[in-house]
Structure 1
């Protein structure tokens, strides 16, 4: 190794060589995944073309010479559109290893490719005087876009499930100072679906500090160097995460990039902040310095007003549509145990305003008197107390809770504006009294019937996890996030995970 560089720990590399050999198939798995996504895209586009052709009255089965010529021409057009579509997806990086399964970028690539293909089709039809029926074009591109989105979402869910089981993972090395490396490792441990399988860490701290450290949060320390190419090649690493530059400085990072520029390696820089949605980040390069511009959260304005109006209208419509179900549930609650049908509880809403949160009653009327004793016996905390097999819950109430039907009366709260369809969990006054520091940010937005807390485990969450999810929502709210939460809520309700 050249002078001026620190050593690479060969003993650590020897220990990890076997696991690196086992992970060499990760590249092949990712290649198979890309081919699988491509194959699925082709099938979706083929299906959309056939459906659009059938809708336009094109002959699917050829009974005559005239229909044969028409059918052949239409199939040729459909095939050409399909080829252009796939090429466009390639052109917009829809099959890139850096975009597949990552955030919303994959869906953005599909959307842009679909729009470009539709534009090319319209331009081709104009140049060749080809009369393409509008119902054909609408069915093809609208149906194809929805189909591609659903297919890629399904593929992503499958891969995420496999990654949790340590399959389809990406061999990764994390580089940086010890404190920053620990921060990144904790995030990777908390979110195993991201697929980063950390083989080891490279510390940029001074050698005296490094000599006493064998592992960071269970991940072996494999070196202390700015010359890491040999290390990464021996480990078959595919991703290098730079948690911090440490003592390397800006020029040190550039030299590191130069060393790795001919390798097929993903280099990821972890910023110094967490729980920030990528949609709030813009890059502003100034004289070669990439500045990150962070958009401030929006708590007022047109988007919030639109959310309020849309939520109230949708909630009112649901109240009308679900009126028969609400009546049946009310009757079941009344017949199951003595007491009122509705349970009213004071909750704290936006800006600390109190309101009466409505639910179907799921507990016996003496539940409040038994609360303190149950908290003591379970060893829980009154701040966020829930227990499985709570003896205060009625027979009907248990079923309502599992399906989240007990919360349907909160649609009235949405109509009146004290709640929203999506938002943080509405806290009780006793909880707010114990808030410290950042937790008060929960009260900057309207609480919701559902939210990240519900689709991420509900009652299985710890107080810290629930607070982190609520604060993430407060900082990163958007219509896209709300729609995603609503869709995930349906799945959470059907599985009943964390509901008791």
Structure 2
């Protein structure tokens, strides 16, 4: 190893941080100048009523709140939802301080800056950061802007980490070296093509010498609390971030909490939420969202219906029994994409099944009409299921609704998918759709059931638009 692995990553991280900081500052200044110039009171008698003072104070508060909330910390930029949470927290803090300042000064114009300027800044900076993140994702997809990672743990858990990081370059990790208990991999000095550079006791030395940005500790009996603590101490003073994978089921998000009890850090896993206030909010959002989307897509749905009628014999809609929450069956409504009698012909095609697990799928299904293939590619055939959402049998976001025969073959573990309403879209929709292996589709559905939150629903709905437009994995 040549000792320069970490430097390029540090360079791009600092450049990206400066770009985000500059983007936030410019966006804030432009919004403040535009609002101040358009609405500002230029002839105010008191200094604290002048728009230039209020504009400067607002920008200073916003940038100060971003700094205090560590919204420009390299570890969170381009990483999951934490970046946007810190951005939102900063803007809320700025609005509160601005409101208190306005009350103290008895400012008559402060409402403009609280209720117009701050929301406008939020919108512009959110778009700016999202566009920067898209650029960063493209760079990572091309193998650039990746943090060099040293993975340390058992060969099996390290292998799993390597495979997952390669499947998801957006995470920004590239495992470049491995440490195992005996300093060897299954094939000598390499593990999944990554060099094994030493034993688990050698981790800190390799990090100091070769400049890795992330130390990913995966499960292994070697990692006792004392050894993990000693490793953390040995990494102090450097740029490396230590990440420890807990020996737990796949649980994440709002259900994980770290508590200190009697000086011992404990990872507390709360129960999944299937009832209560947040679920009530989800019900309201589902119904309201269904109404809005039905009104928005009404012209398109009429057009699709006419095209389906003109393309082939049969009705416009196809009704099918599906299994919903708690195993209750309901009827889904979709635009017809197959020839009449298609369900009865399924048995003759069973030998050609390309679907994973219990799913039946064919990439070139002879039963699909010409128009139906296009409708399926862009999920237009599922628009009528908004009526299922409106009537309460489905949700906007949730696991895929199974057929009764599929549900009957579920094991007890997989039946946990039925603890929540099925959805028009879900993690499976934004992660590959029909191209997903069965085990992966089940894992994603169970992850949604276990880790559901309103924030996760929002992210899924946002990413669904891109998945649908790309049309990948739909047939």
Q: Same fold (TM over 0.5)?
A: yes
Q: Does residue 160 in structure 1 map to residue 137 in structure 2? A: yes
Contact 2:322 2:401 (C-alpha < 8 Å) held by counterparts = yes
Match in the other structure for 1:47 = 30
Match in the other structure for 1:102 = 79
Question: Per the alignment, in what secondary structure is the counterpart of residue 453 of structure 1?
Answer: coil
Provide closer, same or farther for how the CA distance between residues 288 and 359 of structure 1 changes in structure 2, counting only shifts above 3 A.
Answer: same
1:90-489, aligned counterparts within 5 Å? Answer: 90-203=67-180, 205-206=181-182, 213-244=188-219, 246-273=221-248, 275-377=250-352, 380=355, 383-489=358-464
Provide closer, same or farther for how the CA distance between residues 80 and 306 of structure 1 changes in structure 2, counting only shifts above 3 A.
Answer: closer
Looking at structure 2, the residues matched to 237 and 90 of structure 1 have their Cα atoms a distance apart, in angstroms, of 26
Provide closer, same or farther for how the CA distance between residues 327 and 380 of structure 1 changes in structure 2, counting only shifts above 3 A.
Answer: closer
Once the 2 structures are TM-superposed, how far is the Cα of residue 80 of structure 1 from its aligned partner?
3.5
C-alpha offsets along residues 56-88 of structure 1, whole Å, 9 cap, x if unaligned?
Answer: 2456xxxxxx69x99995334323432332222
Contact 1:245 1:253 (C-alpha < 8 Å) held by counterparts = no
Looking at structure 2, the residues matched to 81 and 310 of structure 1 have their Cα atoms a distance apart, in angstroms, of 33
Question: Per the alignment, in what secondary structure is the counterpart of residue 413 of structure 2?
Answer: helix
Looking at structure 1, the residues matched to 111 and 38 of structure 2 have their Cα atoms a distance apart, in angstroms, of 11
C-alpha offsets along residues 83-133 of structure 1, whole Å, 9 cap, x if unaligned?
Answer: 332222111111112221223221221122212222333344444454424
C-alpha offsets along residues 200-229 of structure 1, whole Å, 9 cap, x if unaligned?
Answer: 1112x257x779742223222111142433
Looking at structure 1, the residues matched to 356 and 231 of structure 2 have their Cα atoms a distance apart, in angstroms, of 49
Match in the other structure for 1:5 = none
Contact 1:360 1:409 (C-alpha < 8 Å) held by counterparts = yes
Q: Does residue 29 in structure 1 map to residue 29 in structure 2? A: no
Question: Per the alignment, in what secondary structure is the counterpart of residue 21 of structure 1?
Answer: coil
CA radius of gyration, larger in: 1
Once the 2 structures are TM-superposed, how far is the Cα of residue 359 of structure 1 from its aligned partner?
0.4
Between 219-228 and 314-323, the greater mean CA deviation after superposition:
314-323
Between 142-151 and 420-429, the greater mean CA deviation after superposition:
142-151
Provide closer, same or farther for how the CA distance between residues 210 and 384 of structure 1 changes in structure 2, counting only shifts above 3 A.
Answer: closer
Once the 2 structures are TM-superposed, how far is the Cα of residue 473 of structure 1 from its aligned partner?
0.7
Question: Per the alignment, in what secondary structure is the counterpart of residue 66 of structure 2?
Answer: helix
Once the 2 structures are TM-superposed, how far is the Cα of residue 470 of structure 1 from its aligned partner?
0.8
Contact 1:375 1:381 (C-alpha < 8 Å) held by counterparts = no
Between 301-310 and 154-163, the greater mean CA deviation after superposition:
301-310
| Paired residue total | 475
Question: Per the alignment, in what secondary structure is the counterpart of residue 452 of structure 1?
Answer: coil
Provide closer, same or farther for how the CA distance between residues 229 and 383 of structure 1 changes in structure 2, counting only shifts above 3 A.
Answer: closer
Question: Per the alignment, in what secondary structure is the counterpart of residue 226 of structure 1?
Answer: helix
Once the 2 structures are TM-superposed, how far is the Cα of residue 321 of structure 1 from its aligned partner?
4.8
Looking at structure 1, the residues matched to 125 and 390 of structure 2 have their Cα atoms a distance apart, in angstroms, of 35
Looking at structure 1, the residues matched to 223 and 427 of structure 2 have their Cα atoms a distance apart, in angstroms, of 38
Once the 2 structures are TM-superposed, how far is the Cα of residue 319 of structure 1 from its aligned partner?
3.2
Match in the other structure for 1:82 = 59
Looking at structure 1, the residues matched to 397 and 187 of structure 2 have their Cα atoms a distance apart, in angstroms, of 49
Looking at structure 2, the residues matched to 360 and 481 of structure 1 have their Cα atoms a distance apart, in angstroms, of 28
Provide closer, same or farther for how the CA distance between residues 231 and 73 of structure 1 changes in structure 2, counting only shifts above 3 A.
Answer: same
Once the 2 structures are TM-superposed, how far is the Cα of residue 245 of structure 1 from its aligned partner?
5.6
Once the 2 structures are TM-superposed, how far is the Cα of residue 174 of structure 1 from its aligned partner?
0.9
Looking at structure 2, the residues matched to 382 and 482 of structure 1 have their Cα atoms a distance apart, in angstroms, of 26
C-alpha offsets along residues 323-372 of structure 1, whole Å, 9 cap, x if unaligned?
Answer: 44333322221221111211111111111111111101011114234434
Contact 2:430 2:460 (C-alpha < 8 Å) held by counterparts = yes
Question: Per the alignment, in what secondary structure is the counterpart of residue 294 of structure 2?
Answer: helix
Contact 1:342 1:361 (C-alpha < 8 Å) held by counterparts = yes
Contact 1:358 1:413 (C-alpha < 8 Å) held by counterparts = yes
Looking at structure 2, the residues matched to 396 and 280 of structure 1 have their Cα atoms a distance apart, in angstroms, of 44
Once the 2 structures are TM-superposed, how far is the Cα of residue 234 of structure 1 from its aligned partner?
2.7
Provide closer, same or farther for how the CA distance between residues 318 and 104 of structure 1 changes in structure 2, counting only shifts above 3 A.
Answer: closer
Between 301-310 and 101-110, the greater mean CA deviation after superposition:
301-310
Looking at structure 2, the residues matched to 295 and 380 of structure 1 have their Cα atoms a distance apart, in angstroms, of 35
Once the 2 structures are TM-superposed, how far is the Cα of residue 163 of structure 1 from its aligned partner?
1.4
Between 437-446 and 229-238, the greater mean CA deviation after superposition:
229-238
Provide closer, same or farther for how the CA distance between residues 245 and 286 of structure 1 changes in structure 2, counting only shifts above 3 A.
Answer: farther
